[in-house]
Amino acid sequence: MASINFDSVLESLGAEGRYQTVLYYLLCIPATIPAAFLAFNQVFLSATPGHWCQIPQLANLTIENRKALAIPFDGTKYSSCTMYHVDYNQILPEAILAGIWPANTSLSQPVVDSTWPVANCLYGWEYDKTQYDATLVTELNLVCDNKWLPSFSTTLFYVGSLFGNLLFGWIADKWGRRISFLLMIYMAVMLSIATAFSPNYTVYMVFRAINGLTFPALFQIPYILVMELVGPEFRTFAGNGISMFFGLSLALLAGLAYFLRHWFHLALATSVPFLPLFGYYWVVPESPRWLLSRNRIDEAEAIVQHIARINKRTIPPNYLRSLQQHPDLLLQTDINIKLSTEEQQEIPRHPSHQPSKGTMLELLSYPNMRRKFYILTFLWLANSVAYNGLSYNSSNLGVSDTLAFFINAIVEAPAYVLTWWAMSRWGRRWVTCLTMLLGGLACCCCMLVPEDPLWISVTLAMIGKFGIAASFGIIFLYASELLPTVVRSQAMAIASFVAGIGLIAFPYIVFLAVYSRLLPLLIMGLLATAGALCSVLLPETLGVSLPQTLEEGEAFGLRHRIWSCPAGRKRRCQKVDGVKSSDIGNESLVLLVPSDAAITNAEFSQQPPSSTSCSL
């Protein structure tokens, strides 16, 4: 149904009407709070507090005195995994063993002999309870020889997300956004509750790996559904709004972890409250844009009529059928452009001269779509590794885990507000480039400052998270605008799949902090900087109608120039044969026509202007 421009249909229904507004905020809940909790509660459930060997013979002494007598000290910190292997009953007086320290007594001060034999912890461990009463690590002693298990659990979660992205992306494009979304909600909530009752860490890791199938698709599918239900002018706000809710959800998680100091209580608090989301079965509709791309017009008609009724708009019965029979009633595209015969011949077309059904193999056969998809995939990889790495790396910054995580989350709110404003003026491309560059350089600069004082590296890390969060919020919107409806979910899922391969490695990047607290920041900074340089190769999408077919997706950006940008009011607009170029702010979107139509002069009408296009 490429003949029906759904963005123009939305103008008749109300592109930002009451229906879309209510549904938008309803979808923000499952797309952000449970998704954020699912992905990041592991930071606190499996947190590793400070620990040292337990010495039963010194149980009556204070923690400081036990560590001073029994734990090797390297000049900066006490060992976490070794102890002096001596019989304290023979070395220390009975009074000291009973808990009477020599201070202010006639007893002599005990002296540690550095020649005492050292052994691994023989009687278990003691844990610092300053931040946590209990975590999975402290209950199961996942330290020293077993310290790899929490990182491995995170890796398994992201292995699950690899295949979940493909699975639910395929379901969303094959059977619809609604079915995919509801399956994820039921699965994520039930498995999150089951995880809290895991009898051992192996079962916990299995549950987490299976639950990983739903992330980040649990964020992406509602995001796509929102983008497909609102008009171009509302997409910037809607996309950044969901991202802002996600950042605030992370801040909420930090607050819950601060007050719920036991891992079991936190696991229940981040799963059980989402049982009412099962009621979304009666709330969330199918995407009418997707239904049109599948030629299911009658189903789309029912939803469109419902939207019009809620928005108090009047449209005739069988509205979409009438548009199908008279496509000239609607705008065909948003961009004015003229194509020569030679330029049309360069664009691959479906053999039957009809819009393709839309598969990823077909997408990769279109050179322009293939190039854009590869760049989007790398940007997704760079953003995912840097964003998740900085979030998980908060515990390595030398401050309270909950405080570092809270600051890490709260800096996202101003980042999304700034990008919302910036994208409305300067578009997606240059804002993506600048925010990734800011985040990458800030992380890299951490290597140029001393680890002490602590506040310098923490501040740079927070600036890095600010930039990466801003660019990560843009990439979802950017991808949804560049990829056509027929493969949007699959393509975003595959891009996220590739990013997930990088996420398998990021727990081990974070683990490098045992060698240098700043080493993970350097790696993530270099990756973000590389992504910033690649982003300028994509075309601008500000104000453009979403492409529905692969042909429309291939056409968009063919005349893209690296130094082009959406202009302010004082910029000089481009003209092609006397026709003003897009007032919407992008370089080139053309409508493909059969080659036998012999069209050499394709002019299309446009929506009311909101900005202009220029070339620097």
End-to-end CA distance of the chain: 37
How much is the pLDDT for 20?
93
How much is the pLDDT for 106?
52
Q: Give the C-alpha separation, 110 to 203, whole Å.
A: 46
Asked if residue 348 belongs to a domain, the reply is no
How much is the pLDDT for 404?
83
Q: Give the C-alpha separation, 527 to 411, whole Å.
A: 21
pLDDT in tens, 501-524: 877 777 778 777 767 777 888 888
Asked if residue 547 belongs to a domain, the reply is no
Buried b (16+ CB within 10 A) or exposed e, 278-309: eebeeebbbbbbbbbbbeebebbbebbbebbe
Provide the residue range defining the domain that includes 93. 51-127
How much is the pLDDT for 327?
61
Cβ proximity of 551 and 356 under 8 Å: yes
Cβ proximity of 16 and 234 under 8 Å: yes
Asked if residue 465 belongs to a domain, the reply is no
Instruction: Check pLDDT > 90 for residue 59.
Output: no
How much is the pLDDT for 467?
92
Winning range, highest mean pLDDT, from 35-39, 98-102, 318-322: 35-39
Instruction: Check pLDDT > 90 for residue 592.
Output: no
- Number of neighbours of residue 346 by Cβ within 10 angstroms: 11
| Model pTM score | 0.76
**Residues 232, 237, 242, 243, CA torsion sign:** positive
- Number of neighbours of residue 448 by Cβ within 10 angstroms: 10
What does the block give as tokens for 45?
Answer: 């459930």
How much is the pLDDT for 615?
36
Cβ proximity of 201 and 154 under 8 Å: no
What does the block give as tokens for 595?
Answer: 């080659």
Whole-angstrom CA distances from 165 to 337, 377, 396, 439, 516 are 36, 13, 29, 26, 33
Q: Give the C-alpha separation, 265 to 288, whole Å.
A: 41
Whole-angstrom CA distances from 61 to 77, 86, 101, 121 are 20, 17, 8, 18
User: Which of these ranges, 366-375, 471-480, 563-572, has the smallest mean pLDDT?
Assistant: 563-572
Asked if residue 39 belongs to a domain, the reply is no
Cβ proximity of 446 and 461 under 8 Å: yes
Asked if residue 211 belongs to a domain, the reply is no
pLDDT band at 267 (very low <50, low <70, confident <90, very high): very high
Asked if residue 289 belongs to a domain, the reply is no
Say which residue the tokens 């002296």 belong to: 111
- Summarize the confidence of residues 529-540 as an average pLDDT: 93
| Sequence-ordered list of residues with C-beta below 8 angstroms from that of 146, at least 6 positions apart, any chain | 140
Count of positions (residues) in the chain: 616
- How many domains is the chain partitioned into structurally? 1
Say which residue the tokens 């997408």 belong to: 363
The residue with greater pLDDT, 386 or 282, is 282
Cβ proximity of 126 and 50 under 8 Å: no
How much is the pLDDT for 105?
53
Calculate Rg over the CA atoms of the chain.
29
Instruction: Check pLDDT > 60 for residue 76.
Output: yes
**Residues 359, 363, 364, 370, CA torsion sign:** negative
Whole-angstrom CA distances from 390 to 400, 408, 417, 462 are 15, 8, 20, 9
Asked if residue 119 belongs to a domain, the reply is yes
Asked if residue 92 belongs to a domain, the reply is yes
Q: What percent of the chain has pLDDT over 70?
A: 82
Whole-angstrom CA distances from 44 to 257, 514, 616 are 7, 19, 48
Winning range, highest mean pLDDT, from 55-59, 93-97, 230-234, 346-350: 55-59
pLDDT band at 395 (very low <50, low <70, confident <90, very high): low
